[in-house]
Amino acid sequence: MVETENIKQVYLLGIGGIGMSALARYFKFAGKRVSGYDKTPSPLTDELVAEGIPVHFKEDEALMPLLSERESTLVIITPAVPQNFGEMIWLKEHNFTMAKRSEVLGSLSLGKSCIAVAGTHGKTSVTTMTAYLLKESHVDCIAFMGGLSRNYGTNLLLPENSSQVMVAEADEFDRSFLRLFPEMAVITWMDPDHLDIYGTEGNLVEAFAIFTGQIRKGGVLLYRKGVAIDQNWNSGIRYYSYSASQEADFQSKNIVVTDGAYRFDLSSPLGEIKGITLHYPGLMNVENLTAAMAMALLNGVSKDEILASVPKYKGVERRFDIRYKSAKCVYIDDYAHHPRELEATILSVRHLYPGRKITGIFQPHLFTRTRDFVDGFAESLDLLDEALVMEIYPAREEPIPGVDAGMILDRMKLSSKRRCSASDFTKILDDYQLDILLTLGAGDIDRLVDPIVHYLKEKNDV
């Protein structure tokens, strides 16, 4: 356990990450002095600075403020920062107390009724939806989210009452979620991913089994119907399934699309809710909402509160995020970076906009993920009408010989496909008659979003 009560100062290495910035905001709220380093400026680091949290971008120990107070300082690190980073080495040499983000989050969850949302896809959406439903009800919550809620403009929610309910996104990367011992948990998907960490799918499943075993006695695991959950993983809890397409304990039924909104009913062990309206697009988000409504009901949110709040849900940045819409073109940005996520996003677009032409720009994320799932990426991108594939975003990895964007393109059957780079995308887009445009990926493709919106406005708003 990481002791945080007597800490006066918190320094975060990689403060601009979505999970790290939520902790920075939390400790600022808790009255600690907070500062940090990140590699490059971003809108999120701009927001932190505006909130009174100093951030620097140059590797220089002299820029770390007030770190002379070693005994009362907590340094929070993320796996994204390499161990040979100069500031990391300096902090270790000077014996500062250092903890991973996941360790700190686990410590903050102790003594609270923690809802942990895990899974290889969809966890950010389910986390944010669950937090939203609790926040808009009499229950309230504290929430650490892996994305920026469009309803609140932040990735951290703080309770307005004495609520001890905490919603936390439980990330399987680096086995981070094994630091949590929740009261209730969600598992959305258990597809192979992060094989650079786990090696095999079996090792990944084993980690989810350990996570399930850490749910407190008398607690709940809610899982997507079809995920291979073994109820022997924890015999002291209750198990519930959810789905928007199969018979399940919590099931969304009678789904129709009317005027761009989804209308449906929810059946559950806690009773039925009829006439739910979700304006946030994407058929997969009906299923994500099914999980969130289940968690909300299990934590005491009323049916009437759910009916009142769901229509006002605005979504998460970079999750089926409609950034531009005109009579000529619709532009959607999405974080999808796994073949299953690409498939779900593209099929949701087809469901929402039947018969329209879809052009997608995809940036692969990680050399290992591209190598491991190249066939799956090709199959998913073949669901587009036109595909542009950018070079791989390396993140924490070194290049792997022979692994590049061409691997995916070579395996695709789609006739309209090409390689592109960030530097020439507007020139390339001039070659297309855009109808529905998607940007897809977890790297720095998000930096193209605002320029693309500007490009589309100049081209279409005449």
Q: What is the pLDDT of residues 137-187, one digit of tens each?
A: 999 999 999 999 999 999 999 998 888 999 999 988 778 889 999 999 999
* Domain assignment of residue 364, yes or no: yes
Asked whether the beta carbons of 235 and 212 are under 8 A apart, the reply is: no
Q: Which two tokens stand for residue 216?
A: 């407190």
Query: Which SS3 state, helix, strand or coil, does residue 389 take?
Result: strand
Report residue 55 CA to chain centroid gap: 23
Q: What is the DSSP code (8-state) at residue 365?
A: B
Q: Which two tokens stand for residue 229?
A: 């959950």
Which run of H or E residues covers position 330? strand 330-334
* Domain assignment of residue 326, yes or no: yes
| 3-state percent helix, strand, coil for the chain, nearest multiple of 5 | 35, 25, 40
DSSP secondary structure letters along 256-280: EEETTEEEEEEE-TT--EEEEEE-S
Question: What's the pLDDT band for 256 if we cut at 50, 70, 90?
Answer: very high
Name the percent of the chain lying above pLDDT 70: 98
Question: What's the pLDDT band for 447 if we cut at 50, 70, 90?
Answer: confident
DSSP secondary structure letters along 186-244: EE----S--HHHHSSHHHHHHHHHHHHHTSPTT-EEEEETTS---GGG-TTSEEEEEES
Do 346 and 308 reside in the same domain of the chain? Answer: no
Do 147 and 242 reside in the same domain of the chain? Answer: yes
DSSP secondary structure letters along 416-442: SEEE--GGGHHHHHTTS--SEEEEE-S
- At 310, the amino acid letter reads V
Cβ-Cβ contacts under 8 Å for 46 (sequence gap 6 or more): none
Which run of H or E residues covers position 55? strand 55-56
* Domain assignment of residue 438, yes or no: yes
Per-residue pLDDT, 106: 92
Per-residue pLDDT, 367: 94
Average pLDDT, the chain: 92
- List pLDDT tens digits, range 264-286: 999 999 999 999 999 998 888 99
| Domain count along the chain | 3
CATH classification at residue 174: 3.40.1190.10
Question: What's the pLDDT band for 66 if we cut at 50, 70, 90?
Answer: low
Range of the domain at 162: 111-312
Domain boundary among 40, 75, 100: 100
* Domain assignment of residue 4, yes or no: no
* Domain assignment of residue 1, yes or no: no
Could you give the angle at the alpha carbon of 346 between the alpha carbons of 442 and 207, nearest 5°?
Answer: 50
Domain boundary among 53, 70, 100: 100
Terminal C-alpha separation, the chain: 59
* Domain assignment of residue 378, yes or no: yes
Do 92 and 163 reside in the same domain of the chain? Answer: no
CATH classification at residue 59: 3.40.50.720
Strand order in the sheet with 358-362: 321-325, 330-334, 436-440, 358-362, 386-389, 417-419
* Domain assignment of residue 401, yes or no: yes
* Domain assignment of residue 2, yes or no: no
Asked whether the beta carbons of 422 and 451 are under 8 A apart, the reply is: no
Whether 462 shows a pLDDT value over 60: the answer reads no
CA distance 2 to 74: 9
Residue among 306, 223, 217 at smallest CA distance from 270: 306
Asked whether the beta carbons of 191 and 338 are under 8 A apart, the reply is: yes
For residues 58-72, average pLDDT: 76
Do 379 and 357 reside in the same domain of the chain? Answer: yes
CA distance 160 to 141: 8
Per-residue pLDDT, 103: 92
Whether 251 shows a pLDDT value over 90: the answer reads yes
Residue among 117, 132, 131, 147 at smallest CA distance from 224: 117
